[in-house]
Structure formats: structure tokens, C-alpha cells
Structure 1
Amino acid sequence: MADPPEPCTDPLTCGLCHKRYNDPRILDCFHSFCCDCIEKHAHASKGTFPCPMCHMEIHIPKTGIKGLHPNYYVRAIQASAVFSTNSKCETCIETEKQAQSRCLECNSNFCKPCVSRHSKDKETRDHHMVELSAPDAKSVTKIAHRSFCEKHHEETVYYCILCEIPICKDCVTKVSDHKGHRYKNIVEGAKEKRNKVKPMIQSMHEYLPCLQDYLHELNSTKKLLGDYAEQTVQEIKARYKYLQEELLKICNALVEGVEEKVKNDFNRIDTHVQTIDKTLRSVSTITKSAEEAINLGSDSEVVLMCQKLQNRFKHADKEIPQVGLTPAVSSNFHVGDLQSSNLQEMFGSCDTTDIKLPMLPIPWGLKIALNFDVQLMYSFKVANVIDTIHAIAPLSEREAWICHGWGTQEMSLYTREGEKLRTVKLDIQIDDIITKPNGDILVSSYDDKKIIKLDGDLKQTDFVKLDLYPGGMTYTKRNELLVCAVDSYVTTRNSRSRRMIMRISEAGKIIDMIEDDGFSAIFTAPYRLHENMLGDIVVSDREEAEVHTTTITLDGFVKNKYVGQKDYRMKKPFNPFGIVSDKQGHVLVADWSNHAIHLLDLSGQFIGFLITENYGIRGPNALALDKEGHLWVGDTKSTVWVFKYARRVENNA
């Protein structure tokens, strides 16, 4: 069977007739088709019809298919595409005037004075006007459109927060359904809605190439499977030729067996390819339509369609297959023994070898975008040279002590805006820093084998001296200090190695050493740690053979290990460094190699990548949460990033 056609990515091409749109209509699922194409598709339907691409049920308006919403965004692109510097106004007496805009309802070009008259006329004031731009322009100018209140016939200049719709000034000043409701300027409301949908669009932009690669790999694997089968058949036929006609029966039986196996796998792969191809085209079109709607739509339209867009992306997530194919089976031919008296043994036989099929990419980005608001608040450099930021200790919601450059004795206090307030030089090399609730600062020194305390005046005293090398620290709700401690810089261990988490009291006394679970050692090279919402300890372990994070109880019981996301094709192996746990129970892990922050739930299951390299982060190392829950990230390029993130709250009003 031939490979399926590449999905159509031309925003001006109908998905049914595969020609340029003629009177495009956008459905509730955000797929668009020519009006005539939809009429042909839904000619026998009553009340509803399935979308030709995603099969979502679409309600037919009372006025019929012609009542479906025109896709003004595509029409705006079409109008811009055919614009010429010779285009003249088609409505005024002075026909030589240069056209400035085009009315998408009237399909006419207007000069600037005519646009003004057109927008004031009661019959045409709500028309969609697109400002014409040169054909080589990178984007279409935003569509100008004024919406009017159906009840008061005034322009909608406000946004009702409770009802989530555009309203006019009379809606809030006179007796109406919105009297007493909270409202805001329509521009602010549209900006808020755009910000909700843009991360979802961006996540799909990031995911679509993965889906395209998967489709390509499926077809490549299918070809490889066919090549192996063809080669096997050729070997079988060559063997048959050697043993002459008496072996024809055996030959045909073996060939039939091989072809049956490959036919079954072909059918299985073809079915999956068709599903993925349809999903790719569907999601690609939804993403493009949503992007056009958000970028080109008026504020009123953005407000109206935002909830639809969010719901649509939730449905898009469900449309995407969550499981790939089980391995296919290829046939291998083995030459039989010429000395054998049994013809079957003399001819040979077939066995099978598994061929690994490509891994189905999962749209984790969309899951995060649907469920979390993530905002980069600030980013700033702490040095002009490339250094690793290995310790961040928030002092308040606006300030944090930061240490960069391995082996340094200095740490500096920065505001989250990047202003350096002061620098302190200690007489030890700094590994990690934490701040206690009372304002004291604890600093671990790997080389000096001790932890020091700085009081509010930054007066230095020894807190505890150790026989091992201390590293990452965290302060618990039990007012205890937990410290990663090892007996060697080497990240492999032997039978005599000491690798542990130390429990240290408020007075600087060692309470316990969590080293094994009663039977075997737990850690190899513990680096950073944090207490989660349940009081368990999550540790990043830098074992060379298998880096991972480990969640343990205080009595040494290992609850889970996380070795990276196996269902997502990461560019490089999982490489955890910094680790924190927030008040909602999420565990955040800095993945240095993949320039990402993994988000895990309390059970250690992967939720998604909260932050990726698209923000510009390179090699995230240090992680910290300030008192307001903002995430501070320090990377290997001397840069600190401050993010605000929160789980989305659905508005059911």
C-alpha cells in the first residue's frame, strides 16, 4: 500500500476539495472548509453532521449550512495575498484613490475616507475590515471589527467577568442581566484570554514536528519491514531453485507464511498510520485556526471563543492516541542441512526477529498548557563569564542569596529583578545555601567538611563539623537539617563507600544517618534534596550508570525512583540536578542535559515539562521556591530565571 499523502499545511487550502478556499466556514471544532464542500458533506444530515476531519458533531444552524460562521481570518489572508499596490478604492467617486482596507462582508476595497464612512453606517458598522498590506509582508494586519450589544445596540467596550462575554456600557449602568457583575475593559479581557490560549497553541507548535517525525518513522519502518521480507523471499526462492521442482510445495508454503506475516503487520501499521495521519492533519488545522483566531480576531471574538478554544484543545488531547504499536515481526530464512534426509530440513525454515517500531510521541506540552499557567517574570545575569549557578536561597519573596562558580567563597544577595544588593566572602568554599525561617543562613562546604551558620548580621560560626563531604541541604517542618553526605568525590561506589542523608538537630547534633533500607545501600552520589508535602525526602542521585531521583521516608523506606520520562523522546538521557517540592505536592526536577524542568506528582509520576529550553534556559542546575511560591532557576550560563506558575482554576460561572 502506498504511503499516505503528507498532511496539508497550506492555511488557504480546504481539507475536503484540497483547493484554495471558496467562501470558507469555520466549524465549532476550529476546522475550516469551503461552504459548498460542507453542504455536499452534510447533504443528508439532520440537525448535526460530523466534522470531516475530527468527527466532532457540528450543529447545523436554523438557516442551514450558510448560517455557519464565515472564517474571516482565512479571508483576511486571502485578501492580503491578492493585494496589489495598484488596488484602487471600489466605492468612492475618486476611483484613482489607493485602497487601504477591504471589507470582508462586502468583498470591496476601500480608501481611508471610505473606511471611516463605512464603519459609521448603521448597516455596515459591524463589518470586518482588514487593512491591506504588501504581499511580501510577514503577517496580516489584525482584523478591525466592532461588535454591538444585541439588547442596547451599543458597542461592546467591556468584558463581564462573571458571564465571560462582551458587554456595552448600558449593560453595567442600566437594569440588565449584568447589573452588579464585575467587569473590565474589553482590551484587558481579550489580553487575559489570549494569554490563556497562547501557551496551548505554542505547545502544539512544539508537538506537531514530533508527530510528523513519528509518521515518517512509521513509514520508514514499514519500508524496512518490507525490505526484510523481500530479501527473505528472495533467499527462499534461491534455495528452491537449487533443490529443483520437488521442493516447490515446501517453498510455496514458506513464502505464503512470510507474506501472511508481513501482510498482517502492514495492515496493522497502515491502520495506525492512517489514524496518526488524520490526527496530525486534524491537530495541525485546529492549531492553525486557533492561532489565526487569537492573532487576527477582534477582542470581542477572542473573549467569546476563548472557552471554546480551551475546550477544543482538551478534546484534541483526547483525540491523540496514547499508545503506539507493539513490535512488528519479520521473517528470517535459515538454510537447511544438505545431508539431511528430510526435505523440509534440507530446504530450510523461517523464524522471526522483532523490529522495534518508533515510539508514539505524547503531547505533554499540551497537558501542561491546559492545566498550568506558567509565566516568566524575570531573568538576569550574575556574571559576564559562563558560570554554573549551583545554589539559590530565597531570603524573601523578592530577594535570594545566589552562589555561582564551583570553588567560590563568595555569595551575593540579589533582588528578583536582578539588582545585586551585597556580596559576602566567606573563609570556606561554598557548595549549597539555605535560609532558615528565623533568617539564619546555613552554608555547606564540600572541601572543608563542615556547615557554617550566618546570623542576621552575617556573623559566621561553625554549625556542625563532619567526617564526610556535605552537599545539598534542606530544612524540614520538624526543624531538622537534612544534608547529602558522601565519603568521596567519585560518583560510583564500592562495598566500603559511605553515601547517605544526615539528619541534624537545631543544635547541630547528628540525629541519624539514612544510608540503607535495612538490606542494601540507597544512594550512590546524592546531590540535592527537598522535603515534600507528605514529609518524605526526594533526592537527586548522580549515579553514573543510572542517574535518578529517589523518594524515601525518614526510616529509609524507598517509595519510588524516577529515571526520566520513557514515553517521551527526550533529546538526551535524563540528567537531574536541583530538586524542590511545592505546597501543592508537585516535585520539580532540573534536567541539565535536556534544558527542562520535570514536573512530578506526589507518587513520582511524570506530569509534564513545566519549563523547556524554549524559554532560553541552558543547563538548569539550582532550584528554589520563595515564600510566594515563585520558582527560581539557576543555569550554567550565569543566568537566574524567576517563574510564576499555578494550576489553572476552571471558571464554571
Structure 2
Amino acid sequence: MDLRRSAQDVLRCDLCETPVPPMYCDICHIHLCKACVGEHLSEFAKEHKIVPFEKRGSSTKCLNHSSKICELYCEQCDIPICVQCTSSTEHQGHTFVYIVNILEKQNAAVQRDLQELERFIFPKYQEISSNIPVQKANLNKSLQKVASDISKHGEEMHREIDVIIKKLKSDLDEMASKYLTVLNKHEDDIKHMLSDITQTTADVRKLVNSDDVGLVSAYKSRNAEFRKLPPKLTVTLPSFSPQKTDKHQMFEQFGSLSELSIEIEEHNYTLRTEHSTPERSLIDVPQIITEINTDYTYAATVCCRSDEDIWIRCNGNILRLYNLQRGLLKSIKTRSNHCAADFAVTRSGDLVYTDAQNRSVNIVKNKEIQTVITLLGWIPCGVCSTSSGDLLVAMHNDDWETRSKVVRYSGSTEIQSIQFNENGKALYSSDGCTQYISENRNLDICVSDFGAYAVVVVNQAGKLRFTYKGHPSTTKVSFYPGGITTDSRSRILIADSDKNRIHILDQDGQFLRYIDNCGLREPIGLCVDSRDNLFVAESETCKKNTTTPSSEHYPPEKYLIDVPHIIKEIKTDFQYAENVSCLNDEDIWIHGNDNILILYNLQRGLLKSIQTKSGNRADDVAVTRSGDLVYTDKTNRTVNIVKNKDIQTVITLQGWRPCGVCSTSCGEILVAMYNNDWKTPSKVVRYSDFTEKQSIQYNDNGQALYSLGYYFKYISENKNLDICVSDWKASAVVVVNQAGQFRFTYTGLPSSTKKPFDPFGITTDSQSHILIADLDNHGIHIVDRDGHFLRFIDNCHLEEPFGLCVDTNDNLFVADKKTYKVKKIQYY
């Protein structure tokens, strides 16, 4: 037996025997000390995944590529995948996210559920349970008083009324028995629920710190079930009403007990908690994910049954269920053979639809159709299912003069009617035009009223909150609202079929943006899935589009000022200034023609100087998300990171030399590099944790994207995740998307410059504008995200602009090579 591996020995590094190694390779399943990590990673023959010892086993191997780790997650297929899987036909056109983000999201959901169970749901049930003994005490006290009143009145009637007294007391006892039976059952139900909640809380608590991907992924929340509080008992206890004594009419005059009244009041609300859903902001450019061609004359309404299955309604009497991958699943004909006016999916997954012709609301269970509501004098149009399981139905009157209304139903019973505001004015139009309806996350009721050219929003109690009649800047243009839906952030989305666009509002009616870039043709029906993907039914094209309006931050729109101007100048000690990178809005890194990297503060001047590790000059610099400086050294083929004053070599290349570098929004590193042989086209490589995960070199036709050999190539990631490379040799800026697919090339605008385009430094701003230094033409090009020229900055005394960066306020920093200055320029 190897004593070094015996139970008495401590855990040791598998390469050097150092005790208690803190790292672990999840691929090779070996323990490593920090000193041996580099040596292990140098084994290029296979892939490695180094994680802290505590996180061992957290990586998942790809089922299709056994040597690869699943670093990504396919949102359409709902499975972990490796980088190699992304290029397969099986996942073509799908959306990928990092698996660590999925784990973080699931862990966050588990944590939120645990907090909700412990802080809100369980205490609320305890409160309700503790109130039942009080009700029992009040029952005895109240009934004793009634019994006393009966006895006192009975004494006045003497023996003639003894029989009556006994009869009434017997009735009273029977009522008490009935009420006590109901209370006992109610108490038993609540205690059962408390037991369920306690067990669920214990199960969720176990998952909070679990690294088991299988268990965490399989977790299903029961909080929605528990948020619906138990019914409230409202009891009207009997009272005694004495009558004047009349010997001949003793029984009639003595009095009687009122009936025992026990009402079970269902909570028409769900327990509200303080936590909210994870922040999801709007992306710059919504994009179409999927299109479904229907066989309808036009597609009118769409409703999500799940993230993969959707119901679609048209102008006929057929309702169809589609799966995004497999196509048509089933078709159902309406019960009356009339066209459905609108439909929705209930919490239990059943389809409910309105039939204007026979004034009914119907529910589809499997293939059986039941009529659950039949109206008299009113015609139903829009319908939605609420978070509490009620139905909201928008309806208009037969006479076309009475104002429309919204009615809430619990089952088939009307429990609320919304028609007028607090001043008695009608909330909705009266001309029988189409009205769609949706309940928001904050329980507001949102109605798209075509006849009023408005969206009307009331709260859960039916009180008016606001009316939206289109964007304020377009008040002279008619607003024709169609379908309406809401998302996880309580944003309201409205189809504007006349203008071929979607309006997005916040929960208070403030306009956020339009979606008008997805080629929409008369959008009518809308719905969103659990991931906030938007489904749009188009009446003209008979298509259903899936678009993604939410993900990254969507900044407020800015406009370029007429005359950019210099805010500040920093004179450096370099022979010339080459590159600049913002650490924050006040501190900037600068490097020039030597081996010194300098950090400047705009107010206090020089903060510190650092010499490169090799003594060679740096080729490019960038600041990571964590605030560390990363630089390239082409002479010894390395990428290095500066932490405080310590410099670590994190990437060493073989056969390639790095030039441009940038840090991405997700914390990865993009490196532009050229080959030693000067014959192989240059490429861009993406590194995650300093491990290569993507290489970008050719377009879809096999043609090289970048020039050959060592020439200046600077790189920047845009806000929309495009990768922008300034290629000096090619006299061009080459832009590809996140997947490496070619988008466009910008070669300058001949009319704006006297000499050929001479691109060097490149950066991007909050508006996804691309800024390129043009050294020979002494200025800065500004291009939009699609490569369209916007303007040329040539008025700030720039002599040889080289390096560029922008701060969080979109102030531009320019390293001017010839004047060895850095200039801070305002251009918004």
C-alpha cells in the first residue's frame, strides 16, 4: 500500500506532493497546488478545467463530445452543451448562455424561495392559525350571551314557554356544533399546509448550498401554490330577538334565532412579498429567434402554453397548438363553429376562449369543450387568466351605447365588475370595438381599447391608474392598439398594427421604447413566455414571430453635439502616447513607446508606474471587469495581467504573436493576433479563464476576415456584443457578431477625409457607436452599430490620434501620439 495515499496522510498535489492542494482539474480528476496549475495547463493535448477544490465536480461533461466540458446552456433545447455543440445543425439558430449563469439563476431562485417561505409564507400561515383559537373563544362568549338572553326572557314566560325555550336552545346547540365542525376542519387544513411548508422549507434549505447540478436543475418551486392563502371564514353568529309576551300567541311572540351564516371567502389576491424577479433590462436591438408560418388567412392571437408550445387563433373556427421544434401538435374546432374572439391559457394549462356570437366563455380540457359562462345582454371579447386563477373578461353591451366593462369571475361566478372611475366617468369605449386584456405582475388590469385609441390600466380594486394614448412625441398620429401582454418586470407591451411596431411601457405607463426593427407586418396578438421572449402574431403575413426584447441594459438615448470640445488635457512623459484605457471615470492607464505603464488621476496626476514583466514594450492595454490591467507583449508572445503591482503571465502563445486586447462584458478576454509565418491570416481568439474557447479567422465563404502579418490591429467589444477590429494593413474596420459571423466592413468615408483611411485605436460607447482613430487624417470617425457613418471629429487639435477609450459618461479619451498628450473630449 502506498503510505502517501493512506488514510492517515493529508491530501497532496498529484504532481509535486505538496500537502492540501487548493485546486482541482475537473477533467483529469487530479489535485493541484497553485504552483503546478501552469504546468498542468501546458498539456495542450487535452482540455482542462481548473476549479477551487471546494467546487470540484461542478463541471458537466458534454454527452456528445466526451472530452469537452459543458460551459454553455441551450435555451431552446433546455440542456447543457459544450462550445463544439454550438456549430452543430441540431442547435442552429439557438440562443446560448453560460451554464454558470443558469446555475446562478437557479441558486438565486432557490434562495428567494427559501426567504419567501421563512419570512412571508410560513409566518402568514402561523398568523391565520393563531386566530382560530380566538374565534373559538369568541364563539363561546357570544353564544353564552345569547343563551343568557333567552333564559331571562324565558323566565318571564314561566312554564308556558319551557317547551319553546328548550327548542331554541337545541337549535342554538346545533348551530354551535356546525360552526365548531367547520372551524375544526379549517384548523386541520391549515395545520396540514403548515406541515407541507415546513417540509418544503427544509428541502429548499438543503438545496441552497448544493453544488449538485442535477438536483438544482430538477428543483420545482411550490411557492406559487403556497402564496394562495387559505379561505377566510366569515361567521354571522345568531342573535336573539325577544317579543312582548302574548299568552295566546306565545310561540310566535317569543322570538326566534337568526340563521347561522358561515361564509368561506376565498382570497382574491396572492400573498405579495418584498423580493422581485431578477433584473432584466432591454437589449439594444431586439431580434427574431423563430418564425412559424400558419395556414390561416391571417394570424390574430397567440398565447403561450409553455416555453415551447403555443396556441394560435385566426379568423376561422380552428384553434391550433404548435410546438416550436415539431410544428403543429393538434387542432380544435370551437364548440359553436364560430370564430373565437380571444383566448388565454389558465394556470392549470387549459385553454379558455370567448365566443362573441353565442355570448359565451368556454374552456378546453384535452379535446372536451365546456361552456363555463353564458352572458345576457353582453358580448365577450378579450379574456385573460390571472395569477390567482380567476378569469378577467372584457365585454361590450348589445345596445352599443352602454359603456364596456371588465368582469372578474371565480369559476363561473361574477365577483367584480369594473366600468367607471371614482368620478363616475366610463373607463372604456362603447362602440363594440375589439378590447384585449392582460393582468400585470403587480396585479394591475391592462385593457387595450381600440375604440378609445388607448390602453387603460386600473389596479386590482378597479381604480384608474393611468391611460396611455401613444408616445407623447406622436400625439398627432392616431394610436391603434391591438394585442397586449406583460412581462416579468411588469412592463406592458402593446401591438400597434397600423404602424407595424410594438410599444413597451413600464408599469406606471412611462414609454420605454418601440420594437420596430423585426420586419413586423400588422402585428395583432402578443404573449411572452417565462423567459420574457415575445411572441407576435402578424395578420398580414400569417406568421408568428419570437423576438427577444430583454437581456442587457438598454441605455437612454443620447445625441451627438454639434461641436465636440476638449474637457481636459494630460501631458505625459512619453516620447509619444499610444494607448489609453479607463480604470474608472477619474483614473486612466496610459502607455507609450517604452516598457512603462502609467496610471493617471485626472485631478491628482500620476498615481503609479509599472514596468512590464519582460522589459519589452506593451502592444496594447485594457482594463478587466474586476479593475485589473491586462496587456499584450508580442516580443515574448504573452498576455499578462497586473494585480496591484504583481504581474502574472496568463497566456503564452505558440506560433502566434498577440497585438490588440480587450476585456468583454462577461469577463472574457479577446486577443487579436498574427502568425509568425506572415502567410497565415490573422485571427481573434476569445479566452475564458485564460482558456481558449473561440477562434475567429474566416467568414462563411472561407475567406480571411483579417490581413496577414504584423500590422496594428486593435479590438473592442460593442454593447450589442459585436467584435470590432481596427485592421491597419487592410485600411478597414471589420465587425463580426458574438458567434464570429461577419457583419460588415467599414473603410472610411472618402468625402470626409483627404487621405486614405488610416485606422488605429478603436472603442465603443453606450449607444453602440464605434469610434476609430484615423491617424493620417488627424481625426476620429464615429460609426453606428451597423457601420453607417455618423460624423468625423477633426476640430480638437488632434495631430496623430492613436489610442481611444470612453468612460461611463461617454467622454472620449484620445492618446495623441505626436503631441504625447491624452485629451478628454465631450462629443455627446
TM-score for both structures, normalised by structure 2: 0.30
Where relative contact order (Cα < 8 A, 6+ residues apart) is larger, the structure is 1
Compare the two structures and name the one with the higher strand fraction: 2
Give the greater-gyration-radius structure (CA). 2
Compare the two structures and name the one with the higher helix fraction: 1
